[in-house]
Amino acid sequence: MRDLNATLIQCELAWEQPEDNRRQIGDVIAGLENRSDLIVLPEMFTTGFSMNAIGNAEQPGGATQQWLQKLAVAYDCAITGSIAVHGDGGVYNRMLFATPDEVHYYDKRHLFRMAGEHKRYLPGGERVIVKWRDWRILLQVCYDLRFPVFSRNRKDYDLALYVANWPSLRRLHWRQLLVARAIENQACVIGVNRIGSDARGLDYSGDSLAVSADGNLLADLENRSGGVAVQLDAAALQAYRESFPCHLDADDFQVE
């Protein structure tokens, strides 16, 4: 297992304007100075957190998925974020994880009922872990962060990714839960949120973070727009797990 270079992209999102959002994010990525193994975008990065599910949804393998994979090929990296995608007679809030060779996906399991997401989108059922450059990576979306059982490390991942549109009203929860997920799971955590305001008048403070397995902040974008690079230290992760092996005393259980 080698070190993983990751880039967090935090930006404002144009409401329900996929082409504009792809263009502005593409410009940010083109301007990055450092090579990256992994680029992380916010939740619903093409539209903002819209409940116009049918109107915004793309077909599987549609324009945004193709765009992501072209970027993955061009920059020899993985790139991930979520969009609305048609499937099973409805729409999923689907996190795409594109590499130069393939696209994995995770459908958001916990739908944010306070915004009516559970009425407009279908819930995913499967926990998804992908392997990329020797790292085992758990894919999660926004509200999933509040449910530690679902993201419990069963000795099966090294990095958890949370992509979000998390309002500034609850920024304290976002920041503290990201750190908590890292500490309790002895895994690195990256959470990427948006900034600015959406069409519903909700404000977003960003606070995109990268957290080491012992809970230390490796990167904090606060309310800044743009990208920040972080190196995840594979040897340090392994050494920490070996020096403080609390996972050996974890309770065994299953998620239904």
SS (H, E, C) 220-252: ECCCCCEEEEEEECHHHHHHHHHHCCHHHHCCC
Contact indicator for 81, 43 with CB cutoff of 8 Å: yes
Contact indicator for 81, 96 with CB cutoff of 8 Å: yes
Distance (Å) of CA 167 to CA 50, 97, 205: 13, 24, 7
Beta-strand pair 226-232/4-10: antiparallel
Instruction: Show which residues are catalytic.
Output: 43, 108, 142
Dist. CA 49–CA 227, nearest whole Å: 21
Among candidates 191, 190, 188, 215, which has minimal Cα distance to 204? 191
